[in-house]
Structure 1
Amino acid sequence: MMILELNQEQLEKMKSHPGFIAALDQSGGSTPGALADYGIEQDTYSGDDEMFALVHQMRTRIMTSPGFSGDRILAAILFEDTMDREVEGEPTVNYLWKQKQIVPILKVDKGLAEEKDGVQLMKPIPQLDDLLMKAKKKGIFGTKMRSFIKHANGTGIEAIVNQQFELAQQMIAAGLVPIIEPEVDIHCPEKAMAETLLKAAILKHLEQLSKEQWVMLKLTLPEQDNLYSDCIEHSSVLRVVALSGGYSQMEANERLGRNHGVIASFSRALTEGLTAQQTDGEFNTMLDESIQRIYQASLT
């Protein structure tokens, strides 16, 4: 199978540059919550068009903020709608890379299926090859897909990891680096056990990748510090990144700092405290301070 080439400059940045990944990829189901956190209530807009226009304004404000740059931020994960829009008159992907030196990544999953065996697999992703081709043409470097683990069920966890790596092969063939995100619920009653099962399943699949087949892993901050060090050291793993998963920014940063070699890929924890009502000065200062704290926690 022919595998399309990666952008070598972006690959080098993702491999070796200090920093973290900004997750700006809330989609249809999570957008009202993201807007509410930003101070825009659901009764102030109607329909998806207005909702997505407002969330793009919010993301544009973040992306154009002076502190949001490639010095501390390696990459940004985008929702498809954001990829298809513009920032300051430029396609979003071009703006991020050319103006900010931030590597663009696309969320490709369509949400979660119903719970089975203590987990939620991804829903089917129709026309995935077309989406990957479109993303590659627009200059996207990698993809992200999320599934969800609620219980330490070996059968369910195995199914999640199988699905993630199977789809990852499609991303790799399209010349993209997949971020595999099997999130463990921070409220999982047997969280440490779920993470042990997850790590074993991931390592088994990593061994089946051939040379130059890159993946990234996006994982919940574990109960056992440095649990994922074997994954970090694996030759096929470009980066291991951590999601904030509902932890406050302070707690997420503390946990991240104890996991050496793991960097942040925060969404809610990155935008914590930012509101539409803030002046640009207040907004930019708060975002800059958050970026610096997350960056520092990602250096350990």
Structure 2
Amino acid sequence: MTKRLDRLHLILTFLAVAQQGNLTSAAKALGTTQPTVSRRLRDLEAMLGARLAARSTHRFHLTPEGVELQRKAIAWADAWSEWEQEMQATGSMPTGVLTLVGPHGYGNTLLMDAIAEYRQRFPQVQVNLKLTDGQVDLIREGADVWICAGGCRDQTLHVRRLGWMHRILIASKDYRGAPVRVPEDLESQPLVGLVPHVYGQLELRSVRTGERRSVRMNASMATDGLLASYSAVQLGMGIGSAAPWLCGSDIAAGKLRRILPGWELEPVPIEAVTLAGRFRPARIDAFLEILSAQLAKTTGFRRTPP
């Protein structure tokens, strides 16, 4: 990359010299010194193995090789100006391909709702959605944004906190475990773990008082997939957890029942993770605004900290 930037500086210097007709005027136009311009011109000639200009105290003119290079460099500069104008004109309008990565549970529901609205509003943008419940390498995946449930710990990335998703304890209507009246009763129950969010310890919070308790977890079955965890609960394999948007309709239909209704698990942060940098394509910001609006209408989601 450094060599390419060096070549760019040399070509721009040569163009200034060719257009100004002498080194002193070129140096003034470039905001540098005459010796610097002279050195760059010599370096360019050495790199190309050709004399580009004949110069003396009072005369300066391009050699045939210099004239040919000037012609090609001007064509390149004109093309660059066109690219710059196009980028500035479309900088505020979503274009291109939007590549998203998200967890399976959210990807099959909330993300798809947002994508449907996004495509309706911006049909010129192609959307690619990749689903994984593991950690994501944005560069390796070639992704624009990762919707992360649980928090991103990579400080080299740009993280936008969208809000928090509340979670409750649930069990199948046919679950026949011992009564659960206080959080500590969970320690003797078979629990369905969701790695890494619900595993090892259960961090519970009183809905009424905000009191917090930590309970040792006996996971009779564990998975790193949200939908697999939910399916295990539906099949009566133990007490598990889910966000209200996922389990609400099954609770209302009597297929599931809530355990410890006065308590809930600590909310999970929902974040939009992108590569760090000053500029972010409009297609990303447009999608995140739509997703934020969708999440705000989702049962159990809060934009403010718990």
Please classify the TM superposition score into its range, dividing by the shorter chain length. Answer: under 0.3
More strand by share: 2
Larger gyration radius, structure 1 or structure 2: 2
